[in-house]
Each structure stands twice: as C-alpha cells, then as structure tokens.
Structure 1
Amino acid sequence: MTGQNGVTDSEHFSPYRADGKLYGFVCIVTGATQPVGKAIVAELAAHGAACIYACSSSPNEAHAQVADADSITTQYPNTKVIGYPYNMTSEEDTLALIDDVLNSWGRLDVWTSSTGLLGPRSITQTGPKDLYAAFDTNALPAFFALKYAPAAMAKTSTQKGSYPNAAPKTTPYGSIIVVTSVAATYGGCWAPAFTMASHAALGVVRSGVLVLKGTGVRINAITAGQIDVGLDLEDCGGEYMARGQFPPASVQAGEAQKRTIGLERAGRPEEVARVAGFLASGFSSYMTGAELRVDGGAGVMNPVTVPV
C-alpha cells in the first residue's frame, strides 16, 4: 500500500524512518531498576516503541514497579511497558525472555544491556569472587544479547499487529546497545575489577561486528563517565554503593568536576538514555561497533581518576 509521496507502508515503518521513530519496535532493556536503565525505558517510549520489556537485575526485585511503568504509560499511552523478572547472568532466563517476547509479539528489534557492578573500591579488598561477579554483571549480559538476540531479530512479519504503534517488519534488522563505563577505555576509574569487566563489555561490542556481519543487526556501546545516579557517599554504605552501575558523582567535589570535565558537571541518566534512543533508531543506521563516550569531555581533556 502506497501512502503520501509514494512511500510504501513497509518503507515508512522501516528502521530508517526520517523522524527516528520506533513504531512497531519491541525492545528489551536489562538493568531497568538502575537509574540509567529507567531513563532508557522512558526514552524508547518517547520514540514511539510499541513494547518495552523493562527487566529487573534479579528475579527478587520488585519488577512490577520497574522503570515507573505507570507514569511512562500515562505519558506515552501507545507504548506498553512490561516489568519483567530477570536474572541477567542466567543463560536460561535469557532464552526464556526471548521466547516470551517472540510468543507475545512475534518480533524483537532493540536490546539494551544496561547493567553494572562497581564491586570493591580497591584491589586489596578484591578477591576472585568479586572479580567473577564483576564480569558476570558487566559483560555476561552483553554476551548473551550478542549470542541470542540476533536470531530473534531476524524474525519478520508482513502483517501489521492490532496493538498501538504497530507496524510490519519486512526485513531482518535490530540494534544491540551495551551501556558500560569509560572504565572500558582507560584505567584509574574505581578499581581493577570494575575496569577489567568494563573492558570485557566493550570487547563484546567490538567482536560482535564480525559475528553480526550479514544479519542486519548492529551493535554499539555507550561508555558513560561521571553520571549523577542519586547516590551519595555519606548516605549509603560501601556495600550498597558497590552494587551500583557507576561511581557516585559525589566522589568528585563540584570544583574538581569543573576542573576535569569539559562541561563542568556530572551527567544525568536521561543524557545517557538519549544516546541509546539514537542508537536504537534509524538515525544511526550506518553505525556498528562504535563506542559513543558520554562523559562531558572528561576523557579528552584528561582521563578522570576517581579517588577511592
């Protein structure tokens, strides 16, 4: 069927829409209980995604409240947000999640792996179990996405569903987005376990380009710098803080941020999410294997060393 300007429905709802909308897209966001994950869910909804699986970091979290689904649905009523209990380090849970998505929607288009574990703040506090946990949390979910999401993203359908923001999918395509830290590109950020595991997450992206060759699926990384995720060194214990995705912005005083960050402040979760929205959409159609650094220019001026 041909619409205005001779554009067919298939072309109109392709991933290369000129307006960057994600109509018809079914998305997965892991780590949606973290501030950045929550912001990504809201951003994909703003782009018009049909459905977003907002996955908890573990099955024990209150997944029904993940990503403020009610408020997002109120603001974007045509996007369905599903809070999903998920063990991000489980291969079985990953396969079950994909089966659920395909059985319910018949397609998968975007997978955002937004997970992270800071772990101990120094090497003297770090043991083998801490190192394994860092790799499991920071890199393994991205690996599972690379291994299993492309086959689901290859599923196509010429039929337009009956749900809001529905659209046909006539060609295989997809976007895998790995959100990690600037610790993936240099040392001196937090502690060795976090730095090593962040490097591994970026390695998934770089190795993924060849793995995905010919599939129509792209994979890119966001490496974030100082992001204000609402944690304060005085108000939370070290053990709680170590479970966070990024070092608290408060580890650097305002004066230090002005001196070492080009934009003179810490970033906000929604500023990371906007880059994820770009990578999910057709605006980034010729990008794969890229690392988009969201750090306010700190890494260009002088890599920030976070005091421990």
Structure 2
Amino acid sequence: MRLKGKSVLVTGATSGIGAAIARAAAAEGARLMLTGRSAERGEAVRRDCGPDARFVTGDVAEKGVAERLVDETVKQFGRIDVLINNAGVEARGTIETVTDEDWHRILAVNVTGVFYMARAAVRAMKRQGGGVIVNMGSDWSVVGGRQAFAYCASKGAVAQMTRAMALDHAREGIRVNCLCPGDTETPMLVSGLQVRTGDVVHGLKALGEGLPLGRVGRPEEIAKAAVFLASDDSSFMTGSLMLVDGGNTAG
C-alpha cells in the first residue's frame, strides 16, 4: 500500500474528486484528515474511509482555518505527510459578465485557500523534515476556456504557485506538484450543465465527444493520479503539472 502509515489532509473532500481521492488514499493505507463545508457529506465520506479517518468542517478561504486543520492533523497523527489542496469553486462568465461576487469567491477559495493551506503545511513539514503537497489545478491551468474567465485565472495562478513553492522548498524535502484534470463527471460539472443546458446526459455526451478519448473523466481516475503524486512513486517529481484530461491539451 503506497500511503501506508502516512497522514494525508484532503480539502474539499465531501464530494466529487475530493471524495474519490479520500477513498483511494484510504485504500492505500493513509491516515486521513478530511475537510469541507458540509458536515453531513463529510461524515459520509469519513465512514467510507474507515477508522483511520477524521473529518473537520471548514472553509479554506477563511483566515485561520488552515492552521487549525494542519494543527489538528498533527495532533491526531503526529505529523502531516501530505496535503492535497482540492477545494475549489467555479462560476461561468466572461470578463464582462462574471460578477464581482463570483470573481472574489473563486479567487478566495481557489487561490487564497491554496495559499493559506500550503503555507500552514509548509511550516509543519519543515519542522518534521519534509512532506508532499498536491495542488489541484485544471487543464485550464495551461490553456484557456470559454465562458470561464475567473476560473481560468484562478487555476493559472495555482500552476504558478506550485512551481514557485517547488523551487523554494525542494532542498527542505518538500515536493509540490499540480494535478490538472480535464472535464470530469462531478457534482460541480453536472450542476453547471444543468444550469446551462438543462440536459445533463446530452451535455456530458457532447463534452466527451469533444475530447480525443471520446468521454469525460471519472473521479476515481483523477484520484489514482493524486495517489501517485502523493506517494513515493513520484519521488523525483516536483514543480510538475500532471495533466489527466482525456487528451484535451494534446493538440
């Protein structure tokens, strides 16, 4: 088991990719600290992950939450070996149509939340002699997307934050990589399709037909990549962007 005995903190763990990562990490032997804004959904995921999993409600965009989560992880498990910065939000719109509220919320969660969590984790990892951070980017970290101005800006920032952290902390034994999924069948994607098209089945089919592999991704496929980056299997990787996008950015 690739994460046996390692303590892993996963943000945004209550649904979609985050929940899939939590379950995959548990199957690989991790001791888990899970967080998200929904206590009900979080407890359901925690139960799926077995006796070595804990759940703490929190919003990563709020100041002080990151320190509390990292401190609780160290308190429960003695250290924090891996941080998976998965929490994220999305809203559609161009630079003309995105609202101020959506712009600030997307940056608060997707950028400032990553900053808060990574800063708290780096401080703890330095004290213990190393660790791993996996930041959740997107295929829109490297290419643009229509009607997603704020989201693209946030995920581009995550890519650059990853590279900068990797350079700053490599000699301290801290590896930092960015996992960049493409379209994946998650509640966030499904709810967005419902709002935009009213036909989720057709929307998923149309998205898939636009990808070289001919389908959208599944959360468990992204979770497998996250486990790889969190484990020693990726021991010579830092500052990398790992694209799991059905070939979307290949052409």
Q: Is TM more than 0.5 here?
A: yes
Displacement of 1:299 in angstroms is: 1.2
* Counterpart for residue 295 of structure 1: 245
Would you say the 8 A contact 1:106–1:155 is kept in 2?
Answer: no
User: Offset at 1:114?
Assistant: 0.6
Q: Tell me how large the CA RMSD over aligned residues is.
A: 2.5
Give structure 1 regions of 4+ aligned residues with deviation exceeding 3 angstroms: 63-67, 120-124, 230-238, 248-253
2:170 pairs with 1:195: no
CA contact (8 A) 2:185 2:218 kept: yes
Q: Cα deviations across residues 72-129 of structure 1 (Å, max 9, x unaligned)?
A: 31xxxxx511111112112311111122222222211000011221113343431333
State the alpha-carbon separation in 2 of the partners of residues 237 and 297 from structure 1: 26
SS in 1 for 2:68: helix
Unaligned segments of structure 1, at least 5 residues: 1-19, 74-78, 157-171, 242-247, 302-308
Q: Distance in 1 between matches of 2:46 and 2:169?
A: 32
1:55 aligns with 2:60: no
Counterparts in 2 of 1:63 and 1:81: CA distance versus 1, 3 Å: farther
Partner residue of 1:176 out of 133, 155, 160: 133
In the alignment, the residues of structure 2 paired with residue 48 and residue 109 of structure 1 have an alpha-carbon distance, to the nearest angstrom, of 13
Q: Partner of 1:229 in structure 2? A: 186
Q: 1:255 and 1:212, CA in 2 relative to 1: closer, same or farther beyond 3 A?
A: same
For structure 2, the residue ranges without an aligned partner over 5 or more in a row are none
Hey, what's the Cα distance between the residues in 1 that align with 2:192 and 2:239? 38
Q: Following TM superposition, by how much is the alpha carbon of 1:130 offset from its aligned partner in structure 2, in angstroms?
A: 2.0
1:38 — aligned with what? 19
Structure 1 match to 2:115: 143
- Would you tell me which structure has more helix in proportion to its own residues? 2
* Greater alpha carbon shift after TM alignment, 226-235 vs 284-293: 226-235
Listed one character per residue, the Cα deviations across residues 192-234 of structure 1 (whole Å, up to 9, x for unaligned) are 1111111111121011112213210100001111101145469
Alpha-carbon distance change, 235 to 126 in structure 1, aligned in 2, over 3 angstroms: closer
Larger radius of gyration: 1
Is the partner of 1:118 in helix, strand or coil?
coil
The aligned counterpart of 1:17 is none
Pair 69,119 (structure 1): closer, same or farther in 2 beyond 3 Å:
same
* Match in the other structure for 1:274: 224
Contact 1:54 1:81 in 2 (8 A): yes
- Pairing 1:154–2:134 present: no
Which one of the candidate residues 96, 105, 111 is aligned to 2:68? 96
Matched residues in 2 for 1:88 and 1:146: separation? Answer: 11
The answer to whether structure 1 residue 71 and structure 2 residue 64 are counterparts is no
1:259-270 correspondence runs (5 A): 260-270=210-220
Q: Distance in 1 between the 2:192 and 2:101 partners?
A: 27
* Alpha-carbon distance in structure 2 between the residues aligned to 1:149 and 1:208: 12
User: For each residue in 1:135-193, what CA deviation from the matched residue of structure 2 results, as whole angstroms up to 9, or x when unmatched?
Assistant: 1111122212331212212344xxxxxxxxxxxxxxx2211001122111111244211
In 1, are the aligned partners of 2:204 and 2:216 still within 8 Å (CA)?
Answer: no
Q: State the alpha-carbon separation in 1 of the partners of residues 56 and 250 from structure 2.
A: 38
Aligned length, in residue pairs: 249
Change (3 A) 1:102 1:63: farther
**Matched-pair identity in %:** 27
2:27 matched to 1:80? no
> Contact 1:224 / 1:295 at 8 angstroms: preserved in 2?
yes
In structure 2, the residue matched to 1:215 is 172
